[in-house]
Amino acid sequence: MSDSSDDLPLSRLNHQTVVRNRAEGVVQISDKGKGTRKKMRRASCHDSGSDGEISAMKRKKMKSAGNLRSGHNESAGNKKVIKPKELMRVQRVEQGIAAFEWWNSPDPPEGKAWQTLEHCGMTFEPQYKPHGVAVLYDGVPISLTPYQEELATFYAAMPEDGPQLNVSGGQREIFQRNFWDDWHKVLGKSHAIKSFDKCDFSDISKHLDRLKFVKRAASDAEKVVARELRDDCQLRSGYAILDDHLEKVGNFRMEPPSLFRGRGKHPKTGVVKLRVEPDQVSINCGASRPPPICLELGRSWGEIKHDDTVTWLSTWHENVMQSNKYVMLAANSSLKGKSDFKKFQKAMQLKGCIERVRHDYHKNLKSKDRHLKQQATTMWLIDTLALRVGGEKSEEEADTVGCCSLRVEHFTFHKTGKDVDLEFLGKDSILFKQSIDFAGFDEHGQQAYDNIREMCRSKKKNEQVFELIEPTSLNAHLSSIMPGLTAKVFRTYNASETLQNQLPDAEHVIEMRSIGDKLIAYNEANRIVAILCNHQRTVSAAAATGLEAQAEKLEQTQEQKIAATAAYEAATIKKREANKSKQAEAHRFSKLPDEKDVSRRIDIWTEKIKKLEIDLRNKEENKEVSLGTSKANYLDPRISVAWCKRCDVPIEKLFSRP
């Protein structure tokens, strides 16, 4: 029994010929074209129809075959064959990694981070190739050695309108002084360049701009080759085998030499970051696995370790901050996932005993013991204002502080009421500046105000307010109330709790028709959390330009919608007029815009305007607030996922794939 045409796949139909039997009114499908032509001839001999009817039949046959070839066969339900997107090599590997359910895998033994670890080490920047463009000194070209030229190129690559060299940024003088100190040592005392003020790096800057232009103008074939080289590097060194499972490595590429930028007003901005060689790198891998091979010709690793209590793969000592840097597994690895899971579980545990913790510091706010009173006041600030605990800093680091290291100069008390201005540089030199009305809090908040004012009295501006409190002792006290509790857990708990309370109810969100409106509601709650945690970001010149461009695009789209609406009205009027004299004006129908098409275009432009308005509003409201920091580090993802499910919001709208 032969298959019916409805059951045949399109791949077979594409290679078959369709014949319509005029007498029976059915479609006959033949696997062989020659047999079909014979049937056609027999049909033409025995059929009593005219030649015109046979030609019509041929035209129908050709039309039917054409429809089958283009995938529009009615018997196939107008379904097109959609080929699956071919994944790149790296994508296929990471798709396999994502299939591993790390949350169901057993944990390593107590005190161990892993049982087996194997990886391929690090990749290093190629050695510097001189370009030969001279630095102008007092208008005269000066030749440089390759290393001297490399440092000069680092400086020439810095944008003049960037935070380091911008005149209004306050960092230019420090940056230039630090760079000159390092460059002058490389130049030597006998070099012709004696003063930085007479140096002109513009020729090198122009050369670098030309290289950028050439890179942007690369052909598609050149971009494919570059991508293949990046993929080769990723596949060679970008993965590790942890406990017999493939994991992605985070920063497996060694940091290139450059000029240290730092965040905020860093005292070491402009210092030269030296090139790191393989013999300065220590490798950590499993003792039962072969160590990685150093791919740098004639070089070897500095040390091979087998420490299964740590999670780093490689480490080296950097010269600017005199600290160790590490290569870790990627953010979507099982180690990071398990660590985050424990962090949010600890915050959830704090929710169950937060009243006990608060009762502890509430009673000590009025303690006669000075240490207990300071301890209780810092706990109130950490819990209420979500401050970081802070710690000691060296003189060479930026003047950043936390709750325990706050100084008198950071508090400004108003003459009336209980308003206090708190201003200091926090982590990463992010400015915390907030006016706090302690009268708006309960009796415990007002007691905290009295304590702070009393502790600031009779102290110099540069003295610490809570001089008796150390982060270690504070964390030890917190652990005595709840095992494993530290000041860090408060930020995670308060951030997640605030998100939970600020997210709108599902009944309210479901009434919103578009996903964009729902995302605005989520981002608003996220923004409140980011403000609580003081997660800020600097609005760069590029970001400001982007906002202006998006506003212009919105204005242009609105004008296009107005034009489309006018065209729709004109089309309606012209169509009405055309109907009155249909015969006389028939030749103009092809030039008139179709009413349905114009109406459809208006709907499309309306959606475009709405989307642009939502995007612009999101960017404008959140241009100085970093939503991603709180979402990635402090917000329990289970809260967001549950909200998405309740409110019919695709999860991928909130969480991008790593």
Distance CA 163, CA 158 (A): 10
The whole-angstrom distance between residue 280's C-alpha and the CA centroid of its chain comes to 31
What six digits make up the tokens of 185? 């040592």
Number of neighbouring beta carbons within 10 Å of residue 156: 20
| R_g of the chain, CA atoms, integer Å | 35
CB-based burial label for 381 (10 Å; 0-12, 13-18, 19+):
buried
The whole-angstrom distance between residue 178's C-alpha and the CA centroid of its chain comes to 32
**DSSP string computed for 30-70:** ES-HHHHHHHHHHHHHH----HHHHHHHHHHHHHHHHHHHT
Number of neighbouring beta carbons within 10 Å of residue 367: 15
**Beta strands 303-305 and 282-284: pairing type?**
parallel
For the chain, the residue count is 658
Strand partners, 424: 432
SS3 category, 505:
coil
Distance CA 173, CA 269 (A): 10
DSSP H or E run through 283: strand 282-284
Distance CA 353, CA 373 (A): 21
How many alpha carbons fall within 13 Å on the CB side of residue 20?
15
Instruction: Give catalytic status of residue 147 as yes or no.
Output: no
Least Cα distance to 466 among 397, 544, 556, 390 occurs for 390
Q: Contact, 485 vs 492, CB < 8 A?
A: no
Q: Contact, 125 vs 256, CB < 8 A?
A: yes
Distance CA 348, CA 352 (A): 7
Least Cα distance to 235 among 44, 88, 382 occurs for 88
Rounded (5°) CA angle 498-500-506: 140
Distance CA 237, CA 159 (A): 32
- Residues 6+ positions from 403 with CB-CB distance below 8 Å: 378, 381, 382, 387, 388, 389, 390, 466, 487
First-residue to last-residue Cα distance in the chain: 53
Least Cα distance to 194 among 178, 207, 183, 204 occurs for 183
Distance CA 507, CA 503 (A): 12
Phi, psi of 29 (to 5 degrees): -110, 125
Q: Contact, 68 vs 29, CB < 8 A?
A: no
Q: What is the residue type of 187?
A: L
What six digits make up the tokens of 149? 């030229």
Strands (E), 45-156: 117-119, 135-137, 140-142
Active-site hit among 155, 239, 568, 634: 634
Supply the residues annotated as catalytic.
634
